[in-house]
Amino acid sequence: MRLDMRQTESGVYVVVPNLPEGLRSEIAITAVLKEMTYRLFLENAINDYVFWYYTPMALRYTSHFSPIAAIYDCMDELSAFKGADSNLPAIERELFRRVDLVFTGGQSLYEAKRNQHRAVYAFPSSIDAAHFGKARTNSTDPVDQAEIPHPRLGFFGVIDERFDRELLDQIASQRPDWQFVMIGPIVKIDPESLPKHKNIHYLGGKKYDELPAYLAGWDIALLLFARNESTRFISPTKTPEYLAAGKPVISTSIKDVVRPYGELKLVEIADTAEDFVRAAEKILARSSDSRSTEQEWLARVDAYIGNLSWDKTWSQMSSLIDRVVERKHPMKSTKVPLAAYGQKTGAAANP
C-alpha cells in the first residue's frame, strides 16, 4: 500500500495510489484512500487548494476535505457507461451540492445538467490546432499503415460500447475496395465481437504525438458512434481534431456533432451504411474533381476552428474559479495547488 508520485515536465504532480491485492470491499477501499490522501496533504503541507473532480466517485474519499473552491468537470453522463456503479447518480447529486462550479463537456450535457446546480457552464471540446495541423504537411506514413491501400477511412478513439460495430461491419461489407483504419484500445467489449474483414485494420492504441502522422494518410475521418444512452451527451474532441488535420469527416448523428458541425456543413452526417457510403463517395469525388470546392470547405473549417483553443477555454474557466475564491476567501489567491480526481477515459489513443 503506497502512493507513487512523479512530476511531469510541465510541473504537474501525478499521484497514483497502489492498493493491496485482494482488497475488494468498497468500505475498505474508501477508508484506505481517505487515509492515503490525508497523509499526502499532511506530508506535503498542502493547506490551501482547489479540488477538480472528473468523477463523482472520488467524493467517497475526499468528502472530509475543505478546499477553497471545488469544481466538477462533467465530461460525460458516466452513469450511462457500461459497468457504471449503480450509486453513481446519487453520489453525483451529492457532489452537485458540494461544488462551487460545474463545467460540462458539451452543449447537450449542459442542457441536461443546468438545472441541477446554480453555476453550470458549457465548455465544448476545444483543439490544439497546431498539433493536429501537422497532418496537413506530414509526408511520412507510419510503418504499420504504409502498406494499406487507398482510399483510407480512419477512426481513432476508445473502441468500447459507444463504438458502432454493426455500422462498420455493414460499410466495410458494402465497399470492400475501401480500407478502414481503426486506431485505439479495445475496452469493455469482447475483441471477438468486432467485425473482421480484410479491409478493416485494427492498429491498436497510439501516442498522442503519433496521431497527426496517421491522420495525414487518411482520405476521410470517421466518427463511428452508436446512438445509445452512453453517447447521448458526448461531445467528441476528435471532431475539431480531425478538422484541424484538414480531413473531411463523416459522423453519426451525435447531437453535439450535428450542432454545430453538421449544421455548418463542416461534417457530413449519416446513420446508415448506405448514407455513409454515399457521403464518402461524394467526398472522394470532390477531392479528385474539384480543388476549388475542397479549398472552400477547408477555408470555412479554418474560420470556425480558429476561434477554438484550450488556452481560451482555460482562461474562461480560471476566471470563474477566481471569482469563487474572491467571493468565499477574499484574502486568498487562486495560485494554489489544484487537486484533480478522476479517471482518464476519453483520450482514446492514449489511454
Query: How would residue 290 be classed by pLDDT, with cut points 50, 70 and 90?
Result: low
| C-beta of residue 106 within 8 angstroms of C-beta of residue 77 | no
Residue 98 to residue 96: CA distance in whole angstroms: 5
pLDDT of 287 over the 80 cut: no
pLDDT one-digit tens code per residue, 206-216: 999 999 999 99
Distance of alpha carbon 31 from alpha carbon 336, whole angstroms: 26
What grid cell was written down for 350?
Answer: 492514449
* 293, pLDDT greater than 90: no
pLDDT value for 77:
84
Checking if the pLDDT of 349 tops 50, the result is no
Could you tell me which residues come within 8 angstroms of residue 210 by beta carbon, excluding any fewer than 6 positions away? 142, 349
Binned at pLDDT 50, 70 and 90, residue 334 comes out as: low
What is the reported pLDDT for 288? 64
Distances (CA, A) of 20 to 1, 33, 60: 5, 11, 19
pLDDT at 345 over 50: no
Structural domains present in the chain: 47-125+309-341 (3.40.1260), 129-305 (3.40.50.2000)
The answer to whether residue 205 scores a pLDDT higher than 80 is yes
Determine the Cα–Cα distance for residues 329 and 336; give it in Å rounded to an integer. 13
Q: Give pLDDT, residue 343.
A: 54
pLDDT at 192 over 50: yes
Percent of the chain with pLDDT over 70: 93
- The 10s digit of each residue's pLDDT in 19-77 is 988 887 888 889 999 999 999 999 999 999 999 999 999 999 999 999 999 999 998 88
How many C-alpha atoms does 27 have within 13 Å on its Cβ side? 0
Mean confidence (pLDDT) of the chain: 91
Per-residue pLDDT at 116 exceeds 90: yes
3-state secondary structure of 73: strand
Global pTM reads 0.85
**pLDDT score of 82:** 75
Q: Exposed, middle or buried: residue 216 (CB in 10 Å: 0-12, 13-18, 19+)?
A: buried
Residues of the chain with pLDDT > 90, as a percent, come to: 80
Q: Which of 152-156, 174-178, 199-203, 281-285 has the lowest mean pLDDT?
A: 281-285
The pLDDT assigned to 351 comes to 27
Q: Which three cell numbers stand for residue 276?
A: 455513409
